[in-house]
Structure 1
């Protein structure tokens, strides 16, 4: 499997960013780490190995950008206004630096977003904010309401990064073109978030798959089963 380590200075974040890519061609897949996870987490926990067929056959090229949750949502040492501002800069970095690179590398205009746990939030939030750039969104045990990370603070910036708030009133036609999977399980601590988001999508008439798997916990073994299954349905 072709693997490349990339490091660059991000003008949006005013810091260096690390990223791993896997594969040589195919549809670009942005794969986010879990809460405060690093760019190598999905490799270390064998999620990349679980989709090696799709990578080696040139069906997808995977981009694993570093996360900055420790500077944003989990940064309890700063005011919540600064936490959400830092996340907004991260979102801008993804849009202007990661997606643009993936488009140039692969020749595809649209990307796939995916992630496990809090990575599922990142996958969903980016997809729903920029639906004209995302063909498929695969959330694996995601949580989609970030208000609990902000100690009761709320402003317009929080609203536009909280899918359960902004999605009901969003009428961008590209939302109805996106292929959406909400993966969860019977013992998943985030199952309720997925059922809530599924209800929002149902009310809007947006087709999606709420995949509730039996006898599984909020952990890597079920995620290693889910992601190759979802990719096989591209």
Structure 2
């Protein structure tokens, strides 16, 4: 499987950000790491190996991006207002720099996004905030309420990054083109979060697949089974 390490300079972040890219062609999937994870996490934990045949067959090209969680949601050493603002800078990097780069490289109008656990939040928040940029969303054991990270702070920037708050007020037709997968399991600590998000999407008439697996924990063995299954079905 072809692997390429890229140091992408972001003018918004004012620094280089690391990516690992797998495959030489195929539909692009931007893959977010879990909590405080790095760009090589998906490789180290077997997630990339789980989809080797799909990448080698040229069906998908996977972009494993670095996070800025340590400077945003998990930056307990700074004021919560600035945690959110730092995430907004990351969002501008993704939407104004990285996604246009990926779209141009792969010759597509929209991309796919995916992630496990906190990466599932990142994928869902990006897709729900920017449906014009995303055609496929795969969230595996994601959670969708960010308020517990902010020590009681709340303003419009929190609202617009908190899917359980803003999605009930969105227009469902905006997501009619998007294939959405919410993966979870009976023993998943994020089961209730996925049930709640599924109910919100249903209330807006947004089609999606809520996949509840049996008796598996919130961990990599579950996600390594989910990811190839979902990718094999969405295209």
**TM range, normalised to the smaller chain?**
over 0.9
- Aligned mates of 1:138, 1:202 — CA distance in 2: 17
- Aligned mates of 1:23, 1:231 — CA distance in 2: 14
1:175 corresponding residue in structure 2: 175
TM-score w.r.t. length of structure 2? 0.98
Asked if the contact 2:45–2:220 (Cα under 8 Å) also holds between the matched residues in 1, the reply is yes
Shift of 1:21: 0.4
Shift of 1:172: 5.9
Q: Superposition RMSD on alpha carbons, in Å?
A: 0.9
Runs of at least 5 residues in structure 1 that lack an aligned partner in the other structure:
none
TM-score w.r.t. length of structure 1? 0.98
SS of 1:212's partner is strand
Cα offsets for 1:115-167 (capped at 9, x unmatched): 00000000000000111111110000001000000011000001111111111
- Aligned mates of 1:91, 1:48 — CA distance in 2: 24
Asked if the contact 2:21–2:61 (Cα under 8 Å) also holds between the matched residues in 1, the reply is yes
- Aligned mates of 1:114, 1:79 — CA distance in 2: 29
Give the count of matched residue pairs. 234
Where do 4+ consecutive residues of structure 1 move more than 6 Å?
none
1:184 corresponding residue in structure 2: 184
Alignment of 1:1-234 (within 5 A): 1-171=1-171, 173-234=173-234
Shift of 1:198: 0.3
- Aligned mates of 1:48, 1:212 — CA distance in 2: 22
Asked if the contact 2:13–2:90 (Cα under 8 Å) also holds between the matched residues in 1, the reply is yes
- Aligned mates of 1:172, 1:187 — CA distance in 2: 30
Cα offsets for 1:49-92 (capped at 9, x unmatched): 00111111111110011001010000000000000000000011
SS of 2:233's partner is coil
